[in-house]
Structure 1
Amino acid sequence: MGHRSHFKAELVLLLVTIIAAFGWIFSKEALQGLPPFFFMAARFMVAGFVLCIAGRKYFHSLRWQDIKGAMTVGLVMGITMAFWVLGLDQGSSLGVGAFITSLGVILVPVFARFIFGDRPPVSIWFALPFAVLGLGCLALNGRVEFEWALLFFMAAAVSSALQFNLLSRMSTRLHVLVLTAIQLTVSGLFLAVLSALTETLPAAVPLPIFGWFLASALIATSLRFLLQTYGQSLTPASHAAVIMNLEPVWTALLAALWFSEQMLMIQIIGCVLIFLAMLISRWTQIRAIFTAN
């Protein structure tokens, strides 16, 4: 692949991180009129249906063993999204939530080591202290207060690390569109069950809320995954991994502009420490980029 293709792919992935950040905004707005589990269930089932149509030609000759594996990933994704949407619904700061959730990136190789026996890069062990310090700064919130939302976001980060490991083992057996469509659909069904058991649906949904829901499903989920798949096919994984770290940064900036959120200095320090931890954990990929150039 030439430099032009790499540059194009990196622009696409940069756009993906911005769309993902807008997804936090769209979702927060939609939750003003929809129950959390129901919102995510409907969002993922709509997005899964769209991707099924987009990738229908890849659904031929599927093996049941592979389908079961994809469904397992989808179930873990549903658990991850259940924690995430509870944090989003109850949290007071989208920026803080985005940085806590991004800790999942650092935990991926840790899970791979202790569950699957892989050997993570040494940089992970250097990154973890920064991540723990950053999390401590965010949790203290400057007033020694604790929000349940922080715990939900942390649970989402842990669950997402497990999901990523399972996903990486399935991605070589199924086409990305097929795997993503099954993931989203199963995740949506799981969240629909949670919603039926715990939530009461509103009698009517205001038109603006319906608009935010469609933006979440079609733009922040379907379009995002399609662009991410396209971008990752044109650039080395090392480049993609580093660029995707920008999502919490955009989320914090958008939350400040959209909801006038403000962070205390201790929270800003926590975000910086977590971002440093993400960069340190990706040091092998970052070094590969500079070596290639």
Structure 2
Amino acid sequence: MEKKTLRSDILLILTSAIWGFAFVAQLVGMDHIGPYLYNAIRFALGSLSLMPLILFFGKNRREAYKSSGLNRKGVLIAGIAAGTVLFLGASLQQVGLQYTTAGKAGFITGLYVILVPILGIALSHRTGLPTWIGAFFAAAGLYLISVKGGFQIGRGDLLILACSLFFAIHVLTIDHFSRKIDPLVLSAIQFAVCSFYSFAVAVFREPIILEDILQATIPILYGGLGSVGIAYTLQVVAQKDAPPAHSAIIMSLESVFAVIGGIIFLAEGMSLRGYIGCGLMLLGMLASQWDVIFRNSIKKEKKMQISPQK
């Protein structure tokens, strides 16, 4: 179990890194195309990128369906549910970025760290003290990293706040279905659903010009193949062996990687306040794993006491 937990943590950290750098791609992409069209194309790419793997592992996938007790209709319903929540969260974030700063957006989005355990209580999820302590330090770190100056709630901030709520619901939705459905299939369906909704809105609200799409090729490719195809799939795989509140805290590290991406690609500097925020984020991650660390240390100590002296 400890090896699975470590693997999940590594995958979640990698997920947060990809998502953090995606903030740069999302902002650059909207220099050329609208938010709904950007999401429509990138989520379509993410879904298509998984098709070769789904076909390759087809036989094992049919056996997985039998063991889970779900038929194709059940799998499709699960994918539509996850994709609908994902569409609402991703759309609110992408549109909200047009009306607020990236720093505020990063902090407010990260509030799902707090919302996941709160919503989890309603679903009878156990949330221990270490998780709450970790969530507190993570939220404090997000604030120091992302918020500069006064904090005022404007139109964009409210949209991002709503986005964080749906991302929290998405984490819990993935936690519910990832133990029953193959992660590749679940990911491909939810991406396709999100892309369909986004394109439907884009047709009525945004201009669709091929030249503009081509100018946004690099941000779209990163957002589609990296942020969607790889990162969201890693999230689904990792959450098979990680509690949702714990997963949310680790994934909130995307704010740290967003700062790093800004430094590398946008020549943005980071103050001492930012470095302190990164430290609090790391402290929050470690605090959330205190139970696992403590149990492992006790087990090792017992093994040393039981093993014969040589």
Which moved further from structure 2: 245-254 or 53-62?
53-62
Contact 2:106 2:142 (8 Å CA) reproduced: no
The aligned residue for residue 82 of structure 1 is 91
Residues 75-154 of structure 1 mapped to structure 2, 5 A cutoff = 75-93=84-102, 95-114=103-122, 116-126=123-133, 141-154=148-161
Identity value in percent: 24
1:262, distance to aligned residue in structure 2 (A): 5.2
TM-superposition CA deviations, 1:63-92 (whole Å, max 9, x none): 312321221111011101011112333332
The aligned residue for residue 65 of structure 1 is 74
Where do 5+ consecutive residues of structure 1 fail to align? Answer: none
The 2-side partners of 1:36 and 1:275 are apart by: 32
Task: Give the counterpart letter for 2:41 in structure 1.
Answer: A
Which moved further from structure 2: 259-268 or 11-20?
259-268
Residues 272/11 of structure 1: CA separation in 2 closer, same or farther (3 Å cut): closer
1:131, distance to aligned residue in structure 2 (A): 6.5
Residues 118-267 of structure 1 mapped to structure 2, 5 A cutoff = 118-126=125-133, 141-202=148-209, 204-205=211-212, 207-225=214-232, 237=242, 241=247, 244-261=251-268
User: Given the two structures, how large is their TM-score scaled by the length of structure 1?
Assistant: 0.77
SS at 2:125 equivalent: coil
The 2-side partners of 1:251 and 1:175 are apart by: 30
Where do 5+ consecutive residues of structure 2 fail to align? Answer: 66-70, 301-310
Larger Rg: 2
User: Given the two structures, how large is their TM-score scaled by the length of structure 2?
Assistant: 0.74
The 1-side partners of 2:8 and 2:172 are apart by: 24
Q: What is the count of residue pairs matched by the alignment? A: 287
SS at 1:143 equivalent: coil
The 2-side partners of 1:275 and 1:194 are apart by: 39
Which moved further from structure 2: 210-219 or 279-288?
279-288
The 1-side partners of 2:263 and 2:224 are apart by: 23
1:269, distance to aligned residue in structure 2 (A): 6.8
SS at 2:127 equivalent: coil
Residues 278/202 of structure 1: CA separation in 2 closer, same or farther (3 Å cut): farther
1:17 and 2:9 aligned: no
Which moved further from structure 2: 98-107 or 198-207?
198-207
SS at 1:204 equivalent: helix
Task: Give the counterpart letter for 2:111 in structure 1.
Answer: L
TM-superposition CA deviations, 1:218-271 (whole Å, max 9, x none): 2232233455667778xx648x94754432211112113322345777777777
1:197, distance to aligned residue in structure 2 (A): 3.4
